[in-house]
Structure 1
Amino acid sequence: MSDATAAIIPPTKSRHLRACLLCSIIQTSSDFRSIGCPNCEEILQLKDSPDRILACTTSYFDGVIAVIDPETSWVGRWQRISKYARGMYAVRVKGRVPEDVEAELESRGIKYRPRDQTDQD
C-alpha cells in the first residue's frame, strides 16, 4: 500500500485488507470469506474458500477510491467500475488473476484487463 493509503486506513485495519484482482474492490479477508466479492463472485467463487481468496485477491494495492454512486461517478467510469457495487476500490492492484479465471473470462467473451494499469488501451 502507498503512504497515502496508509494515511487513510488505520494501520491496524490495513493489514487485513485485500483488493480483488478482477474488480479491485477492497474488503477484509473475512468479508471475502463470508460474502465473497460483490462484483465477481460468480466467476471467482471466493466465498468460504481461503485458497481462492489468496489466489484472486491481493494485499498489494495503491490508492483508495470511495464510490457511492458508481453509475454517475466520473471516477467510476475512469476506473471501469461504473457497473459495480458501491464500496471502496483500489486505484491499482499488483498481480493478475489465475489462468483458470482468465480462461473463464475468455470463454464468456470478456476481455481481461489487469487492474495494475499495465494494459491501458
Structure 2
Amino acid sequence: MATIPAQARSKQLRACLLCSIIQVPADFRKNGCPNCEEILQLKGNPERIANCTTTFFEGVISVIDPDSSWVARWQRTSKYARGMYAVRVKGRIPEDIEADLENRGIRYRQRDQTDQD
C-alpha cells in the first residue's frame, strides 16, 4: 500500500465496485484491481478508477486465507486475492462494463447487498 498517514488514509481509500477490494487510488493506478483488472482495466487509468471504484463503503474485513474463510464465502470473495474488502459498497459499475460481463456470461451483483437471493 502507498505510504499515507493513518488519518488521511481512511478518506482516500477506495473500494472496487465489482469485487469490493479496498486500496488507495495510487495502488489501483499502479497495479489495477488484483481481482478484476482484465475486465475493469484500471491500471494507469484515473478516469476508469473514478468510475469503477468508490469512497462510499461500509465495514472492512481482512481476507488472509480466502479458500478457508467463512467470511470470504459469505462476502463472495473466496476466489479473490488476499486483502482488505468492504462489507458493503455503494454504487454501480458503468453500463458498458455490466454489458461486457453479461456478454461473458457473468452475472453482476451489486456489493451493497440489496440483491441478495
TM above 0.5: yes
SS in 2 for 1:77: helix
Say which of 24, 29, 41 aligns to 1:28.
24
Structure 1 gap ranges (5+): 1-9
Aligned amino acid, residue 105 of structure 2:
G
Matches within 5 A, 1:1-121: 10-121=6-117
Aligned amino acid, residue 11 of structure 1:
Q
For residues 12 and 31 of structure 2, the distance between their equivalents in structure 1, rounded to whole angstroms, comes to 16
TM-score of the aligned structures, taking structure 2 as reference length: 0.94
Identity %: 73
- Equivalent residues, number: 113
- Structure 1 segments, 4+ long, off by >4 Å, are none
What do you get for the CA RMSD once the two structures are aligned? 1.1
For residues 73 and 103 of structure 1, the distance between their equivalents in structure 2, rounded to whole angstroms, comes to 31
For residues 34 and 69 of structure 2, the distance between their equivalents in structure 1, rounded to whole angstroms, comes to 18
TM-score of the aligned structures, taking structure 1 as reference length: 0.91
